[in-house]
Structure 1
Amino acid sequence: MSMLTPPGMGGKYRITGNRYPRMRRPRNRRRIVLASTAAVVALSVGGWGTLQLIDIFSGGGTSANAAGSNSKAKDGAGCATDAKSGPAGGKKLDLPEPDSIEVNVLNATDRSGLAKSIADELKKRGFKIGDVANAPDEFDKKVDNTGVLLGAPGKEGDARLKVLGAHFKDVDTRFDDRKGDDVDFVIGKAYDKLAKEKEADKALTALSDPKHSGPSRGHCKD
């Protein structure tokens, strides 16, 4: 027995001078390894999530914004294109005044006196009145809608027909080989009355200045 061994202790707990008793439980290396692995995995997942957030709010967000900007630019371009061809932004048109347009009123219906009454109404609205008569055989009793507008082809002829057409609803527009500046309104079976003057004025405004008369579009929006 060593001199360092307390009285009454012997056997396995005897102190010899170079060893001492281990009073705590040995560490479980397997648990330590698992805990370390779990910590590494958690840190990795957290780091990956952080990188994703950074990407969204920095680089990724910029890309998304850029994509959105491109989309808006395309929408804007689409609106601009529509504006040029549609009623919400076309070029201004120089339309002739009604008093420079000579209108022939031709009755293709079986209602007598109708051509005269329409001619009188058009005269009140500023048009010059030419012939007031029955329609030729090619139209007589053959026009089912409100009527047919006839005029010379070309830009000026088209403009005259548009001005006259603003005073009617559901009319067809056609061109023939005439040389003069006059236009015809052939009365059809469905004719009831002229469009209201306010409606005609609104239609003419839309034709002459589409940018300020067309419906707005939310995006640009209808």
Structure 2
Amino acid sequence: MSFARVRALVVVGLLAVLALVFVVVALVRDTQSNAGTAAGCPDGWPLADVTLRERKDVKINVLNGTDQPGLARHVADEFSNRQFQVKKIANEKQIDDIAVLRYGPKGVGSAHLLRAYFLNNAVTKYDPNRKDDSVDVVLGNGFQQLATTTEVNQSLGDLGAAEAPPGTCPVTDDK
């Protein structure tokens, strides 16, 4: 074996050992080891699930808050075509907003995703007493159409990560 080959093997070996030491130090000094577990959460605060859900895992109720007949059915069909789980379609009292999203602690991540379908123009209403993970989508008089897939992706990028509402502790459901 030539001297150059031995020298190369020594350098590669030292780099491997250095990388191993770096990884061990990073794992030992990790300050986020209990991220997503609500460690340090005050007693009695609800745990807000801030996990960004896939569309197929989001349960919604579509409510028509306009005087336009059949709007809820039409939008529910659009959401179904986009793989959302539409649980209920009904009428609601009229509102002037584009949409209102009502959700509880288990629906924070789902509501965050749905905000993107309204280009962050939907009013959000958090209910700390709500026990299910569904989101009520109330369509208002300002509603025109759902965002396209490209617009949704851009809107999600602009929105950033979901945040827990005040008075809750964020928790993620990482699998």
State whether TM-score is above 0.5. yes
Match of residue 125, structure 2, among 174, 177, 180: 174
Q: Who is 1:159 aligned against?
A: 109
Q: Report deviation, 1:197.
A: 1.6
Q: Is the contact between residue 152 and residue 179 of structure 1 (CA under 8 Å) also seen in structure 2?
A: yes
Q: Report deviation, 1:165.
A: 1.1
Q: Who is 1:113 aligned against?
A: 70
- Map 1:64-75 to 2 at 5 A: none
Q: Who is 1:99 aligned against?
A: 56
**Whose Rg is larger?**
1
Q: Report deviation, 1:94.
A: 4.1
Work out the percentage of aligned pairs sharing the same amino acid.
Answer: 36
Paired amino acid for 1:134: N
Q: Is the contact between residue 62 and residue 76 of structure 2 (CA under 8 Å) also seen in structure 1?
A: yes
Paired amino acid for 1:109: T
Q: Secondary structure at the match of 2:145?
A: coil
Paired amino acid for 1:174: K
Paired amino acid for 2:116: A
Q: Report deviation, 1:151.
A: 0.4
Gaps of 5+ in 2: 1-49, 162-175
Q: Report deviation, 1:106.
A: 0.4
RMSD across aligned C-alpha pairs, in angstroms?
2.0
TM-score, with structure 1 as normaliser: 0.46
Match of residue 88, structure 2, among 131, 151, 155: 131
Superposed CA deviations along residues 125-167 of structure 1, whole A, max 9, x for unmatched, are 12110100111xxxx02x11101000003xx422110101110
The structure in which a higher percent of residues are strand is 2
Runs of 4+ that moved beyond 4 A: 206-209
Greater RCO (CA < 8 Å, at least 6 residues apart): 2
CA distance in structure 2 between the aligned counterparts of 1:198 and 1:162, rounded to whole angstroms: 16
